[in-house]
Amino acid sequence: MNIKNSSILKSVEKPGRYSAGEFGQTIKDKKDIKVRWAFCFPDTYEIGMSNLGVRILYGALNQEGDVWCERAYAPWTDMQKKMRQHNIPLCAHESGDPLKEFDIVGITLQYEMCYTTTLKMLELAGIPLFARDRGDDFPIVIGGGPCAYNAEPVADFFDCFSIGEGEENLVEFTRLYIEMKENGTYTKRDFLHRAAAEIGGIYVPSLYDVTYNDDGTIKAYTPVYDDVPKRVLKRIMTDMDKAYFPDKVVMPYIETVHDRIMLEVYRGCIRGCRFCQAGMVYRPVREKTPGVLNEQAKCLFEATGYDEISLSSLSISDYSRLSELTDNLLEWTDENMISLSLPSLRVDSFTKELMDKISTVRTGSLTFAPEAGSQRLRDVINKNVCESDLLRAVNVGFDAGKTSCKLYFMMGLPTETYEDLDGIAELAKAVIEAYYENPNRQKGRAPSVTVSVSCFIPKPFTPFQWEAQDSMETFVEKQKYLESKITDRKIRYVHHDARVSHVEAILARGDRRLAPALALACERGFCFDAWDEFFHYDEWIKVFEDCGIDYNFYSNRVWGEDEVLPWDVIDCGVTKEFLKRERKNAYSEKTTPSCREKCSGCGVNKLGGERTWCPKKEN
């Protein structure tokens, strides 16, 4: 959003969100441009600017000389009000031109709760919400990001989705658009048809007919043309060393959520936590080599001047050459006053050697995610860590003078009993005891442990995708129970709002029949549902009810393994057989070794990939 009217900017909160003009933004001459892209992040500027994926795709598209990709963010509610008041449409950040005039509007879907903000952005832009209402004169609206793996609830609002990693297919998509515009064959319908048929990883919802059974489950997804794939296979970058890397960075002038260098170390995850969608859909693991990473880090430092490098990945301690990488980095980071941070540490890999290298640990508190309270339940979810790992890890921290520790858990996991909840309280107590037994602890200071408990949400493409979410009553009961078990005042207990998790679960496994509800939510002014202050559970329920939707059908039902799933139209590489096998293992409390130890046959190696750690592939 780029607003030139200074009176309006002077009347809103944080006008720096809208004023643009950042160093490093891409400005192009419109006369050289054949396609104008608006890359939208359906949340505030501060959050959107912190997203690494947007940064990569912004750079990748702008590498094309005849393509100009700009950014757009959701204006905060005070600005939305002014825009409505003065008939100002949503505009792109760089040029200030209305989104409606663009060729392609891309929207990244990072979390389900951004769906209402997504629709609000389209509404503010003056773009009809439903794809079927948009003629050839409107921009093509394409979605992507993690939620695109089951984008069925918002499928009616999008012309198409990019499935998987978009560095290549968004460029191919854009080139096809240019080709058809230039040779005069462009119609929206023909373009989408060709894109679906010719470009890997492009899913066009309108090219599939969906039929339903009498019990409300899905009967079939049928492509309307023979040359449209029955299932859309996701795209990946096979060699991360050679993948496009953005060496020029847009530098925000106002503070954003992640004001630091994010160095993407590898994609995928060797673990197979059974609740985790990212761990499945981002497979296979593809590592970058330390030499390449070191050069990229230097390049990012010179381009940004940031004083912190965060090594980013799903589980950084699983990077096979972490020690070599950190050593390489420390050779030049220290003298340049740059600190390293590792945001995703597993307890089984947290060592003193590692801790000495990373400075955020020096200042911040320790954070670990055992996810479940008992060993039994940790085996069910395949977390593959045990209590002794956790105690060893916290002791490393206590040795170094740490006094506080944050533990993340999940509630409502399949097979969970009240004994498992007791385990959460006991684990927290064990950490407190470990502190007092540690001879090297900071004398004279009391420890503090924060226990943060979220609610389990069954997600597509996980072994738990068929599971029911606990009912609201059960969640509340369990939360109260756990609260009563935590009596030590050194332990702070916080839990997520089960009501948000409930709506998230409905949307996560939703199908196309939810579209009217989302459109109604938008009409009723829903926006920023990821923000507590704007989330209203009762109104959500009312929206579902007013649309005649049995919402618990999506969230609180055990789905049949032979059911057609809304996301069966997408192929994320991991097979359904593997997910079923993993679900069975969960119920028999059997763990599955990591990819590096043994291949569990998830099927993703058909996609290839360099440095994947897949034993079935030559590395």
Partner 1 sequence: MLEVPKFIRFKFRKVGNLQFISHLDLQKAMAKVLVRAKAPLWYSKGFNPHAKLIFALPLSVGAQSECEYLDVRVERAIPPLELMEHINAELTEELRFLDAYYPETALEDIYWAEYDFSIKTMGADEKLAREVEKLLTAEQVIILKKAKDKYKKIFFKEIDIAPYIRDVSVDFEDGAIKINAKLSASINQTHPHINPENIVTMLKDKLGILSGDVTQEQYDIMRTRIYFEDGVTDFR
Question: Which residue in the set 20, 72, 202, 329 belongs to the binding site for partner 1 (CB under 8 A)?
Answer: 20
Element of type H or E holding 296: helix 290-304
Query: Exactly one of 41, 138, 221, 306 binds partner 1 (CB under 8 A); which one?
Result: 306
Neighbours of 513 (CB within 10 A): 21
C-alpha 37/C-alpha 62 separation (Å) is 9
The alpha-carbon radius of gyration of the chain (Å, integer) is 24
SS3 labels along 71-83: EEECCCHHHHHHH
Q: How far apart are CA 366 and CA 364, in angstroms?
A: 7
CB of 137 or CB of 335, closer to partner 1? 335
Distance CA 27, CA 21 (A): 10
With respect to partner 1, which residue has the nearer C-beta, 10 or 489? 10
| Residue nearer to partner 1 on the CB measure, 251 or 599 | 251
8 Å CB contact between 325 and 342:
no
Report d(CA 419, CA 56) in Å as an integer.
45
**Of 182, 190, 302, 563, which one interacts with partner 1 (CB under 8 A)?**
302
Contact set for partner 1, span 329-358 (CB under 8 A): 336-337
Q: Does 157 bind partner 1 (CB under 8 A)?
A: no
| Residue 197 makes contact with partner 1 by CB under 8 A | no
Neighbouring C-beta atoms of residue 432, cutoff 10 Å: 18
Going by C-alpha positions, the residue among 340, 345, 367, 338 that lies closest to residue 356 is 340
**What are the backbone angles phi and psi of residue 437, rounded to the nearest 5°?**
-85, -10
Judged by CB under 8 A, the chain residues 357 through 386 that form the site for partner 1 are 363
Nearer to partner 1, 5 or 222 (CB): 5
Residue 385 φ/ψ region, left for φ over 0, alpha for ψ in the -120 to 50 degree band, beta for the rest: beta
List the one residue from 10, 31, 443, 489 that touches partner 1 (CB under 8 A).
10
- Number of residues binding to partner 1, judged by CB under 8 A: 31
The residue within the footprint of partner 1, chosen from 303, 400, 476, 486 (CB under 8 A), is 303
Nearest distance in Å: CB 257, partner 1: 14
Residues 82-101 binding partner 1 (CB under 8 A) are: 82, 86
Minimum gap (Å) between residue 302 Cβ and partner 1: 7
Token code pair at residue 520: 């109604």
Residue type, 518: L
| Interface with partner 1, residue 81, by CB under 8 A | no
Give kind and range of the element (H or E) at residue 584: helix 576-587
CB of 362 to partner 1, least distance (A): 8
Q: Within positions 222 to 281, which residues make up the interface with partner 1, using CB under 8 A?
A: 251, 253-255, 259
Contact 483, 493 (CB under 8 A): yes
Distance (Å, whole) CA 109 – CA 144? 6
Q: Tell whether residue 305 is a contact of partner 1 (CB under 8 A).
A: yes
Candidates 18, 221, 461, 464; binder of partner 1 (CB under 8 A) is 18
Q: Is there binding between residue 6 and partner 1 (CB under 8 A)?
A: yes
Q: Which of 101, 307, 348, 568 binds partner 1 (CB under 8 A)?
A: 307
Tokens representing residue 68 in the block: 């100009």
Pick the stretch among 142-150, 302-310, 591-599, 601-609 that binds partner 1 (CB under 8 A).
302-310
Which residue stretch of 9-17, 147-155, 537-545, 556-564 sits at the interface with partner 1 (rule: CB under 8 A)?
9-17
- 202-210, 232-240, 298-306, 434-442 -> range binding partner 1 (CB under 8 A): 298-306
- Separation of alpha carbons 110 and 147, rounded Å: 6
Site for partner 1 in 485-544 (CB under 8 A): none
The span from the CA of 173 to the CA of 192, in Å, is: 9
The residue from 5, 185, 222, 415 that contacts partner 1 (CB under 8 A) is 5
CB of 303 to partner 1, least distance (A): 7
Q: What distance in Å separates the CA atoms of residue 125 and residue 141, rounded to the nearest whole number?
A: 12
Q: Which stretch binds partner 1 (CB under 8 A): 183-191, 296-304, 455-463, 567-575?
A: 296-304
Closer Cβ to partner 1, 338 or 586, answer by number: 338
> With respect to partner 1, which residue has the nearer C-beta, 259 or 589?
259
Instruction: Give the containing element (helix H, strand E) for 125.
Output: helix 115-125
* From 301-309, 508-516, 524-532, 577-585, span contacting partner 1 (CB under 8 A): 301-309
How is residue 568 annotated by DSSP? G
Helical packing angle, 472-485 and 498-508, nearest 10° = 140
What is the nearest approach in angstroms of partner 1 to the Cβ of residue 586?
A: 45
Using the contact rule CB under 8 A, the part of the chain among 2-10, 181-189, 455-463, 489-497 near partner 1 is 2-10
First to last CA, the chain: 46
> H/E element holding 582?
helix 576-587
Q: Which stretch binds partner 1 (CB under 8 A): 61-69, 107-115, 299-307, 483-491?
A: 299-307
Strands (E), 393-529: 404-411, 448-455, 491-495
What are the residues binding partner 1 (CB under 8 A)? Answer: 5-11, 15-16, 18-23, 82, 86, 251, 253-255, 259, 302-307, 336-337, 363
